[in-house]
A and B are shown apart, each in its own frame.
Chain A
Amino acid sequence: MAILEEPIKEILMVKNYIGGEWVESKGELIDVVNPATCKVIAKVPISTKDELDEAVKAAKKAFPEWRKTPPLARARCLFRLKQLMEERFEELSRIQTMEHGKTIDESRGETRRGIENVEVATGIPSLMMGYNLEDVAFGIDEYVIRQPLGVFGIIGPFNFPFMVPLWFAPYAVATGNCIIIKPSSEDPISQMKVAEMVEEAGFPPGVWNVVNGGRTVVSAMLEHPDIVGICFVGSTPVARDVIYKKCGETGKRVIAQGGAKNFLLVMPDADLERTIAACMTSFYGNTGQRCLSGANLVIVGEGLGEHEYNQFYKKVVNAFVDAASKIRVGYGLDETVQMGPLRDKEKKERVTRFIETGIKEGAKLTLDGRKVKLVGEWPRDCFLNPTVFEDVTPDMTIGREEIFGPVASIMRARSLDEAIEMIHGNSYGNAASIFTSSGKWARDFRYRVQCGNIGINIGIVAPMAFFPFSGMKQSFFGILHGQGQEAIRFFTESKVVIERWF
């Protein structure tokens, strides 16, 4: 099948967007590489602390007028932004495939998810309303007003370059705050395109800023006294030990989403055909590079005798391995490709090391993704094929740590209780799913499992924009989450007024 046309024809120079101006950074330029073709598609600056300071200054300057702008007028900017995103939907999607490597279906899915957050935030006149009660005492009324706080920093991850900053940004500006986004320097093009549309949509200068870069920009954000809150999505060590810690020290609001190790349970009464299709998306979608990816597939023998369980186990494993081995791997702009490359060579090497560790620790390598087979002729630097391990136990490295790649670890559990104990024995608590036809088992699972996002016959438990993106234990640090009503609360202060007239 023909490759869809690439929207990036020549090397793009990514600029910062500060105070409504496209500004060239004084920082060093680094390459943005398409991981499927290994071609340089853009150059992104590693901005300096001074440049971040400039952005904060611009945002702070814009804040007083923007917070006074009626919510309806702010919403109209978002309506225009949504419209522009719809018009450029395909371009935005193909850019994600080029800069990240995901398939075109996945990129379009990401674009839609991002736009949905803009849509939800357009409801700000209703979402931001406070509440009141007359006569809390005789002749005295009391009410709550939600007010914006100032300037927020948003630090995006590489795995969803378009969508993740939009879990926060539309709500932040809708509530009257100003923002500075630092996209991942690995794939910053999507956020540059978003900023172009922000400009066209008529947001006042300084409301929405983008500063590209790395640790220097992040540190400057965390230290800056005029930044009142940080939204971060990335690894657990950074979320916990850097972002959450520093925000605590400096008194900033924080949403810090970390890593994950998600368990998917297959019960004996699961609809196997649909379960396997859902598992393919879960384990191998986005090449396993998402915090909602399935990592451990637990085949549960609740109610089965030894012999029956072994048969059931084999049936699930055979179906899973058969489906995984047929996944077409290649460049995501080929519409028949089902899995793209890892984001870069280092990530592939990291995943490969996990595979080697799995073998050393005694897991059975049933499908070896290191034997790369591609659709089309592409450099193999960043590609792996789907990998499946059997006989994995929760204490093994591959059963315990986040791999962030296309590797499935299959485990055995004789009962639902044992499987839930496995989940609770893991330090992460992002998502967990159960595949079953039993309402009782599903209810038990939903009720007991300590994970932020629970799936029942769902492989990727991605909350819609009007629900919070939850997370527990070592997967989330903070109180309120991104998206929907919780984001509105995060980006506003609840001011209480008690009123009496003499």
Chain B
Amino acid sequence: MLLNTASAVISFLTKLEEETAKFYADLAQKYPEGKETFTFFSRDNQKNKNMLERAYYGVITDALEACFSFKEGLNPEAYKVETKIAEEASYLDALNIALKMEENIHKAYTDAASLSEALMADVPQTLIKIANKRNERISKLKTLIKG
């Protein structure tokens, strides 16, 4: 099922933010060495969710192409994230899972922004902003993995 409307895409991305917020909150409890980073990520996810909702609910009008902005649509299957951590997983395993997840989410935001470019005004701009934030996370996680 392709996500072809603003409502469907925003719901999908919002859900991603919620799931990853919980994921990082769990990691923060499990791995004291990464507590600070994971807690920051978890709180930042909530901010991202708020940004998404503000961009959508704040500017949507009946006149914008909300139902028709996402061209052929976004395939949610392409951005599936793994948020389960095995009981015996090490800190390094957790960082690698987080990295993979962030790369997927970054792609979801970038693709959604490019699909809706120029038609939804504030929405693609916000999507790019969050994609950039996710990119910073990717760098941070890579640094942590390298040790």
Measured CB to CB, the residues of A under 8 A from B are 1, 89, 103-106, 108-110, 112-113, 160, 163, 274, 277-278, 280-281, 285-286, 290, 292, 323, 328, 335-339, 458-462
Contacts and interface: CB of A to CB of B under 8 A. Distances in A.
Q: Is the interface of B mostly helix, strand, loop or mixed?
A: loop
A280 B5 contact: no
A130 to B, nearest CB: 32
A112 B61 contact: yes
Nearest to A103: B67
A339 B8 contact: no
Interface in B3-28: 3-8, 11
A108 B67 contact: no
Nearest to B73: A336
B105 to A, nearest CB: 20
20 contacts: A89-B57, A104-B7, A105-B60, A105-B66, A108-B7, A112-B58, A160-B62, A274-B118, A277-B65, A277-B71, A280-B68, A281-B64, A281-B68, A285-B62, A285-B67, A292-B63, A335-B7, A336-B1, A339-B67, A460-B63
A112 B121 CA distance: 15
Interface in B33-89: 56-69, 71
Contacts of A462: 61-63
A448 B68 CA distance: 30
Contacts of B66: 105-106, 108-109, 281
A274 B69 CA distance: 9
Nearest to A340: B67
A461 B61 CA distance: 11
Nearest to A339: B67
B1 A1 contact: yes
Identify the 7 closest CB pairs spanning chains A and B, nearest first.
Answer: A109-B62, A105-B66, A460-B63, A462-B63, A335-B8, A338-B67, A280-B68
Given A335-B11, A336-B4, A338-B4, A109 B61 contact: yes
B119 interface: yes
Contacts of A337: 5
A178 B143 CA distance: 65
Contacts of B119: 274, 277-278
Contacts of A285: 62, 67-68
Contacts of A323: 68
Contacts of A292: 63
A112 B55 CA distance: 12
Contacts of B5: 103, 105, 335-338
Contacts of A112: 57-61
A1 B8 contact: yes
A280 B58 CA distance: 23
A103 B68 CA distance: 12
Most buried by A among B3, B60, B62, B64: B62
A376 B8 CA distance: 16
A290 B61 CA distance: 14
A163 B3 CA distance: 27
A113 B67 contact: no
A112 B61 CA distance: 6
B67 to A, nearest CB: 4
Q: Which of the listed residues B6, B8, B61, B69 has the most CB atoms from chain A within 10 Å of its own CB? A: B61
A106 B62 contact: yes
A286 B4 contact: no
Contacts of B4: 328, 336, 338
Contacts of B1: 1, 336
Nearest to B6: A105
A155 B20 CA distance: 48
A321 B6 CA distance: 22
Given A277-B119, A335-B7, A338-B5, 8 more contacts: A108-B7, A112-B58, A160-B62, A278-B65, A328-B4, A335-B5, A460-B62, A462-B63
B63 A336 contact: no
A108 B7 CA distance: 9
B140 to A, nearest CB: 33
Contacts of A336: 1-5, 8
A323 B72 CA distance: 10
Given A89-B57, A338-B4, A106 B67 contact: yes
